[in-house]
Amino acid sequence: MSQNDAAAVPILEARGVRKSFGPVQALRNVSLRLYPGEVLGMVGNNGAGKSTLIKILTGFHSPDAGELFLSGKAVNFRSPDEARMHGIETVYQDLGLINDLPVFRNMFLRREHMRRFLGVLPVLDDRRMRKETQDYLRKLRIEIPSVKADVGLLSGGQRQAIAVARSIYMHPNVLILDEPLAAMGAREGRMILDLVLELKRNYHTAILLIAHNYAQVFEVCDRINWLTRGEISFDKSVSDTSVDELTRMVMADYMESSG
């Protein structure tokens, strides 16, 4: 499905979003559409407002103006948990993991498996969460010393892999990834890209991917949006553009803003 399919209703849509932080106008007037089953790449320079936009889409920040729609219905998420309950999973650039909890507890954060102690008292079912985390990470070929290790002790790339693994565990309808490849080695980065392709293919998940590496963006995305100076000024399907065109555009923008 693509933006050109007039009958398609976006699974997630933003209209006229504005957001300022004190004197900094991070988003001026952003409208964005994410369609079911597509991978939308969001590119833009540092500070362009990409992370701010996804934090608004997922209820982390509230917009100063503008509206959000989920499958055509107006929504107003008050927290990332509320967005999650509506099938939107997000890997934030700053990850959202709890460093002093072990890997397996992070995997099941706020949806822990419980069991009954002595048949009555509800307690955390750590054994089950450890086992499921272990099996799952093995399946994804994510290597960490132990699921019992506190997340804060892992490397940056390992933490990133855990955050991505957690976000896809529930097979969300919408997956938002804010620079999931930034701290990744080549092998791990490849694995994340393969996961994205697999989710799209097998689960028809709509994915919004923020990344700086255009080659990777072109490999997995169907469409590309370019955010600059708080606005989306470019929206094309990958077949209508190229790494070269994007690079030229970004350079022209740079020359204009510096000169």
CA-CA-CA-CA torsion sign (208, 214, 218, 222): positive
The interface mask with ligand ATP, positions 5-34, x = CB under 6 A, is: ----------------x--x-x--------
CA dist., res. 127 & res. 161, Å (int) = 22
The interface mask with Mg ion, positions 86-125, x = CB under 5 A, is: -------x--------------------------------
Beta carbon of residue 83, minimum distance to ligand ATP (angstroms, whole number): 17
Given the complex with ligand ATP, which of 47 and 152 has the nearer CB atom?
47
Beta carbon of residue 64, minimum distance to ligand ATP (angstroms, whole number): 13
Given the complex with ligand ATP, which of 50 and 223 has the nearer CB atom?
50
Residues contacting ligand ATP: total by CB under 6 A:
12
The interface mask with Mg ion, positions 48-77, x = CB under 5 A, is: --xx--------------------------
CA dist., res. 96 & res. 93, Å (int) = 8
Beta carbon of residue 24, minimum distance to ligand ATP (angstroms, whole number): 5
Q: Which of 132, 38, 54 is nearest to 89 (CA)?
A: 54
C-alpha dist (Å) from residue 196 to 37, 60, 78, 168, 210? 11, 23, 27, 9, 12
Beta carbon of residue 158, minimum distance to ligand ATP (angstroms, whole number): 21
Among 16, 47, 152, 156, binds ligand ATP (CB under 6 A): 47
Q: Which of 102, 126, 101, 103 is nearest to 115 (CA)?
A: 126
189 forms part of the interface with ligand ATP (CB under 6 A): no
Strand partners of residue 221: none
Given the complex with ligand ATP, which of 50 and 84 has the nearer CB atom?
50
Q: Which SS3 state, helix, strand or coil, does residue 113 take?
A: coil
Q: Which of 57, 59, 37, 40 is nearest to 49 (CA)?
A: 57
Residues contacting Mg ion: total by CB under 5 A:
3
Site for ligand ATP in 87-106 (CB under 6 A): 93
CA dist., res. 43 & res. 217, Å (int) = 9
Beta carbon of residue 95, minimum distance to ligand ATP (angstroms, whole number): 13
**Residue 96: exposure state from Cβ atoms within 10 A (0-12, 13-18, ≥19):** middle
Question: Where do the H-state alpha helices sit in the chain?
Answer: 50-57, 80-85, 103-107, 126-139, 156-169, 186-203, 214-220, 243-258
- Identity of the residue numbered 243: V
Q: Which does 16 bind (CB under 5 to 8 A by kind): ligand ATP, Mg ion, none?
A: none
Can you give the binding site for ligand ATP, defined by CB under 6 A? 21, 24, 26, 44, 46-52, 93
Site for Mg ion, rule CB under 5 A:
50-51, 93
